[in-house]
Amino acid sequence: MAARDPHRSADTDQRSPKLIYVILAGQNPTGTVMSEQTRRSLLELADSFHCLIVEDDPWSELHYTAAIPPSICSMDQNGQVIYLKGYSKVMAPGLRIGCLVARGSVFLRLANVKAIADLATPLFNQALRFCAD
């Protein structure tokens, strides 16, 4: 008999997640910060399900602890983490600037969707994005 995965309950044995969305620092309403060990465990969990993690990070600059643990994206070796960073929360509410970090085939698929879905982004902004790559 195969070992049972402790992360699966009886009613989810036939289904697996396709995506995990998480805010790791400043989680509302408690303001807690996920530990590095828990972040690593989450990455291992996503790897076991072969699913993506969307790591949303609007709050890491606003913290009261000595240091924020490294992002899941920085630990990712398989290209399964999409890192989102917005600056509206820390700079100005009306400032709608952010970034997305992805690797490998996930990045290529997202770039293709962006190209198809949004033909109105100024070329200068597009050039800035590719300079940062």
Mean pLDDT of 71-86: 92
What's the CA gap between 81 and 63, in Å, rounded? 23
- pLDDT, tens only, 29-54: 777 888 999 999 999 999 999 999 99
What's the CA gap between 99 and 131, in Å, rounded? 13
Nearest to 36 by CA among 71, 64, 4: 71
Q: Output the pLDDT for position 10.
A: 55
Q: Output the pLDDT for position 9.
A: 57
Q: Output the pLDDT for position 82.
A: 95
- pLDDT, tens only, 115-127: 777 766 666 555 5
- pLDDT, tens only, 102-117: 988 898 888 888 777 7
Q: Output the pLDDT for position 6.
A: 57
The angle formed by the CA atoms of residues 130, 82 and 94, to the nearest 5 degrees, is: 70
